[in-house]
Structure 1
Amino acid sequence: MTGIKDVAREAGVSVSTVSYVLSGKRSISAKTTDKVMAAVERLGYTPDASARKMRGMRNHIFALSAPIRGDINQAKYNAYFLQTAWQAKNRGYDVLLLTGEDAVADIRRVTQSNLVDGVVLLDIEEHDERTAQAGSYSKPCVAIGYPAEHEGCACVDIDFATAGRMAVDCLYSKGHRSAMFLRDNETDYDRGSGYVLLFRKALLERAEELGMTIHESSKHRDDRFDAAEFVRELRSLDERPTAIVNQANANVLKLVLQQLQASGLRVPDDISVLSCGTYFEGELMPQPITEMPVMPQELCSKAVDLLVDAIDEHRDIKGLVELSAPVMHSRGSVTKVGDV
C-alpha cells in the first residue's frame, strides 16, 4: 500500500515536506507543492486513509473556494460566503475558506489530505480551471455557477440565458424598440465571468430576433466610470433609447440615476431602467429599480443540499446541472411607451 515515504521518494522531497504540503501547517512553494501533489496523484495516495477508517467518521467541513481579487464586488462576495456558511451550519458542517490564487492546488491539498468532506466553488468563470479539474479531486464538488467545463462537478445557478431573453421580452412587450445596455465592469468580461457573458449573449441574440436595437455603452472599469459621459452618449444617439438595461453594480447605477436626474431625464417617465444580475440588498438606491437579481440564499441552499446528499448518501453528482428560473422584482422603473 502506498505510503508517505513513497510519495516523498517520487517527488524528490523529504517526508516532512510532503507532510507540510498535505497538512498546510507550513507555507511551501507552489513549485514544490505541485511536485508533491503530482506524486500523490500518480501513486494514488490517500493521506490519513487508515486513520479515517479507524475513526469511522467525517470531518464535517466544507472547503469554500472563493479567490479574492482586487476588483471583487464585496456585497455579492459577502452574501454568497455568508449564505454558504449559514446553510452549511444548518446541516452540521463548518466552512474552510480558500482564497489563494492557485485555487486548484489549494483544493487538492485539502481534499487529498481529507481535511474536508466536500468543496463549494464560488465566482465561476466561463472556462474555470477549478471545475475543469474537479474530476481529479477526491471529494464531491459543487460550483455555484455554470462554466463550460463541468463534467467533474455539479453546478447550480440562475438561468442567465433565460434572464437575458426575459429582459428583452419585458421591454419589447411594453413598446420599447431601442435600449441602452450599461455594461458591467470590463474586468469581468476580460476574465470571462460566466453569468456576465451568458446574460449579454442572450440579451443581444433575443433583441436581434425581435428587431429591437441594443446600444452598448462604452467599456469602463468601476474606478473610472464617467456617468456624465454615459448620459451624453445615450442622448447623442439618433434613435434615443427609451430604456436602460443595467448589468453594472449598484455604485455605477447610482451615478447614472443621479446624472439622468441632473440632465432632466426622469425614471421611468422619460426612460425606463431594468437591472439584471445585480444585488441591491442593503444598497441605498436613489429610487426603487426593477431588477432580476442574483439569489445567494436559494443557490447556496441548493449547493449545500447537493453536497450533503453526495457525502451522506454517496450520490454521484458529477455533471449534474440545476438552473433556477430568474425572478423579476417590479419596482416601478419600467413603463410602457408608444401605443402599447
Structure 2
Amino acid sequence: MPGIKDVARLAGVSVSTVSYVFSGKRSISPKTAEKVRQAVEELGYIPNASAQRLRGGHNRIIAISEPIRDEMNQTQYNAYFLETAKQAKDAGYDVLILTSEEAVIDIQRVTGSNLVEGVILLDLMHNDQRAALAHLYSKPCVAIGYPVEHQDCACIDIDFTKMGQMAAQTLYRLGHRTIAFLRGLEEDYQRGAGYMILFYEALLKETQALGITLIESEKVDHHNFDANQFTQRIINGPEHPTALINQSGSDILNAVLDSMQNAGISIPDDCSVLSCGTYLEKELVHQPISEIPFTPGKLCTGAVSILRNAIEDKRDIRGAVRLFEPELVDRGSLASVRSITEGGTV
C-alpha cells in the first residue's frame, strides 16, 4: 500500500509539502498542489478525508451521535443505530459512531476536521444541546427527534403529541373512562427524554379534555419497582380502571402482566392494555400487547435521505421538520367496556 513518502517522491516534493497540501495549513502553489493531486491519483493513495478532497469527491462518511448512558434501553438503542447504519451503507456511506457524553465537542471535532460529511443525532433530549448548537458544526445535521431548539438542524420523528392524543382517544372510543398509566423510567423523565415528555404532556391534556380519569403509577425505576403493589393499588384499586396505558420497557411491562395474571386479571377481558412509544416487536413480551410503537426503519430511512440531499445536492435543511403520524398496531389486547361488562368481569 503506498504511503505519503511515495506520494512525495512521485510528485518531486517533500513529505511536509504533501502534508501541507492535505491539511491546507500553509499556502501551496496551484502547480505544486496539482503535482501532489496527480501523484495521489496515480498511486491510489487516500490517507484521510483531506486526500478525498484533493480528488474532488466526498469521503462518504457520516457521524452518528448517540451517547451511551447507564440503564439505557438497549433494544431501542440497537434498533436506531443499526437501522441508521444499514441505511447509510445502502446509500454508500460508512458511519462513525460518537458515544461520548461530551457530544457537542466530538461533533465539532469530526465536522471541523472534515472527517465526516454530515451528522445524525439519536436519543434526543427535550432541550438537547447537540441540536441547539448545530450552528457550530461545519456540516449538515439531522436529528431523529424533535427537540425544542432545532433551527440549525433538520428534525424527523413520530408526532408524539399526536400519539398521546391517539392513546386517549382510542380508549375513549372503546368506552374506557378510568385508565391506569404505567409511567416510563423516572430517570428518562428527569434527563429530559424528548419523546416521553411530549407523549406524557399530550396524554394528560387529552384525557382531561375527554373527561377520563387517569391514575398514574408511582415513579418507576429498574431497582425498586413493585409490580404486585402496582396491580393491587391501581389495577385492583378502588377506582378499578378498565384500561392500562404503558410507557415502560418490556421488563417492567412483563412484570406487570405476570402480576395481573397471578391476580386473576385477564387481558383484555378484565383490562385492556395499550403500550405507547415502545418497540415491543423486537422484545420478548409475555403476551401480545397492542401498541403505538416507535418506527426505527421509517425514521432512519428518512434521516439518511434528508442528510444525503444536504450532502450531495447542497440543500439547506436547517430548520426543516418532518413528523410522521403515529400508527396503532392491534395485537388483541384492547376491548370495549361493553364487551368487558357483557363478559361479566366488571
Counterpart position of 1:173? 173
Counterpart position of 1:202? 202
Deviation digits for residues 190-231 of structure 1 (CA, Å, limit 9, x no counterpart) = 000000000010011001111011111000212322101111
Give the Cα–Cα distance (whole angstroms) in 2 for the partners of residues 193 and 332 of structure 1.
29
Moved more, 279-288 or 137-146: 279-288
Counterpart position of 1:313? 313
Deviation digits for residues 38-62 of structure 1 (CA, Å, limit 9, x no counterpart) = xxxxxxxxxx998665321111001
Counterpart position of 1:104? 104
Counterpart position of 1:42? none
Give the Cα–Cα distance (whole angstroms) in 1 for the partners of residues 187 and 164 of structure 2.
20
Q: CA deviation at 1:240?
A: 1.1
Counterpart position of 2:242? 242
Moved more, 259-268 or 236-245: 236-245
Give the Cα–Cα distance (whole angstroms) in 1 for the partners of residues 58 and 95 of structure 2.
14
Deviation digits for residues 135-163 of structure 1 (CA, Å, limit 9, x no counterpart) = 11000000000000000100000000001
Runs of 4+ with >4 A deviation? 48-53
Counterpart position of 2:42? none
| Backbone CA RMSD of aligned residues | 1.8
1:237-316 to 2 correspondences below 5 Å: 237-316=237-316
Deviation digits for residues 227-256 of structure 1 (CA, Å, limit 9, x no counterpart) = 011111214643211000000001110110
Give the Cα–Cα distance (whole angstroms) in 2 for the partners of residues 253 and 197 of structure 1.
19
Give the Cα–Cα distance (whole angstroms) in 2 for the partners of residues 60 and 151 of structure 1.
25
Are the equivalent residues in 1 in contact too, given 2:59–2:117 (CA < 8 A)? yes
Q: CA deviation at 1:286?
A: 1.6
Counterpart position of 1:60? 60
Deviation digits for residues 50-75 of structure 1 (CA, Å, limit 9, x no counterpart) = 86653211110010000000111000
Give the Cα–Cα distance (whole angstroms) in 1 for the partners of residues 53 and 287 of structure 2.
58
Deviation digits for residues 68-96 of structure 1 (CA, Å, limit 9, x no counterpart) = 00111000000001000000001000010
CA gap of 1:299–1:263, structure 2 versus 1, over 3 A, is same
Q: CA deviation at 1:281?
A: 2.4
- Counterpart amino acid of residue 101 in structure 2: E
Give the Cα–Cα distance (whole angstroms) in 2 for the partners of residues 125 and 50 of structure 1.
33
Give the Cα–Cα distance (whole angstroms) in 1 for the partners of residues 176 and 325 of structure 2.
24
Give the Cα–Cα distance (whole angstroms) in 2 for the partners of residues 61 and 265 of structure 1.
52
Give the Cα–Cα distance (whole angstroms) in 1 for the partners of residues 50 and 78 of structure 2.
37
Give the Cα–Cα distance (whole angstroms) in 1 for the partners of residues 326 and 282 of structure 2.
20
Q: CA deviation at 1:285?
A: 1.6
Is structure 2 residue 150 aligned with structure 1 residue 115?
no
Structure 1 gaps of 5+ residues are: 1-18, 24-47
Counterpart position of 2:71? 71
Matched position secondary structure for 1:273: strand
Give the Cα–Cα distance (whole angstroms) in 2 for the partners of residues 123 and 240 of structure 1.
36
- Counterpart amino acid of residue 233 in structure 1: R
Higher Cα Rg, which structure: 2
Number of residues of Structure 1 aligned to a counterpart in Structure 2: 295
Are the equivalent residues in 1 in contact too, given 2:174–2:335 (CA < 8 A)? yes
Counterpart position of 1:7? none
Give the Cα–Cα distance (whole angstroms) in 1 for the partners of residues 311 and 174 of structure 2.
48
1:87-236 to 2 correspondences below 5 Å: 87-235=87-235
Are the equivalent residues in 1 in contact too, given 2:180–2:234 (CA < 8 A)? yes
Give the Cα–Cα distance (whole angstroms) in 1 for the partners of residues 235 and 325 of structure 2.
34
Give the Cα–Cα distance (whole angstroms) in 2 for the partners of residues 170 and 62 of structure 1.
40
CA gap of 1:313–1:173, structure 2 versus 1, over 3 A, is same
Structure 2 gaps of 5+ residues are: 1-18, 24-47, 342-346
CA gap of 1:54–1:282, structure 2 versus 1, over 3 A, is closer
Deviation digits for residues 148-192 of structure 1 (CA, Å, limit 9, x no counterpart) = 000010000000000100000000000100101100000100000
Matched position secondary structure for 1:278: coil
